[in-house]
């Protein structure tokens, strides 16, 4: 039996800076410095899922500890968010297509909160 390869991500953030919204996603990846590229798989994770893992650590901060299997035959909870380095663009297109339309008020609130201007 071999030891599974795991990607460990440790995120510390101000609780007030977390913006849980269906249009906010995280890109989590292991960068292989020797190869100078990200190593498959990479993870595109919705903030609505990831922020559920946030645990208060004091001083207004939270931490999220993620341990995702890098094994292609894995069945862990990160599988739905896993893709290949070369599949990231397609995955993001799928995400954009699956998002429900927003009302003008929702769009304005998102743009004000993030400072991002959404394409029409």
Map out the domains of the chain as residue ranges.
Answer: 6-114
- In three-state form (DSSP H/G/I as H, E/B as E, the rest C), the secondary structure along the chain is CCCCCEEEEEEEEEHHHCCCCCCCEEEEEEEECCCCEEEEEEEEEEHHHHHHHCEEEECCEEEEEEEEECCCCCCCCCHHHEECHHHHHHHHHHHHHHCCCCCHHHHHHHHHHHCCCCCC
pLDDT one-digit tens code per residue, 56-81: 999 999 999 999 998 888 899 999 99
Most confident among 1-5, 37-41, 61-65, 111-115 (mean pLDDT): 61-65
- Using the predicted structure, report yes or no on whether residue 89 has a pLDDT greater than 60: yes
Mean pLDDT in residue range 4-9: 85
Residues 6+ apart with CB under 8 A from 102: 110
Residue 1 pLDDT level (bands cut at 50, 70, 90): very low
- Using the predicted structure, report yes or no on whether residue 111 has a pLDDT greater than 80: yes
**Alpha-carbon separation of residue 30 from 5, 9, 41, 83, 109 (angstroms):** 11, 9, 8, 13, 33
- Using the predicted structure, report yes or no on whether residue 4 has a pLDDT greater than 80: no
| Summary mean pLDDT of the chain | 89
Residue 119: the pLDDT is: 67
């Amino acid at each position: 039996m071999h030891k599974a390869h795991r990607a460990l991500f440790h995120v510390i953030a101000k609780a007030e800076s977390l913006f849980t919204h269906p249009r906010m996603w995280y890109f989590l990846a292991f960068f292989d410095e020797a190869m100078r590229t990200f190593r498959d798989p990479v993870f595109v994770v919705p903030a609505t899922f990831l922020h559920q893992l946030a645990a208060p650590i004091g001083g207004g901060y939270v931490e999220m500890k993620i341990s995702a299997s890098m094994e292609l035959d894995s069945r862990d909870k990160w599988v739905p968010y896993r893709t290949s380095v070369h599949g990231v663009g397609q995955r993001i297109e799928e995400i954009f297509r699956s998002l429900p339309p927003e009302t003008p008020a929702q769009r304005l609130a998102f743009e004000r909160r993030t400072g991002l201007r959404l394409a029409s």
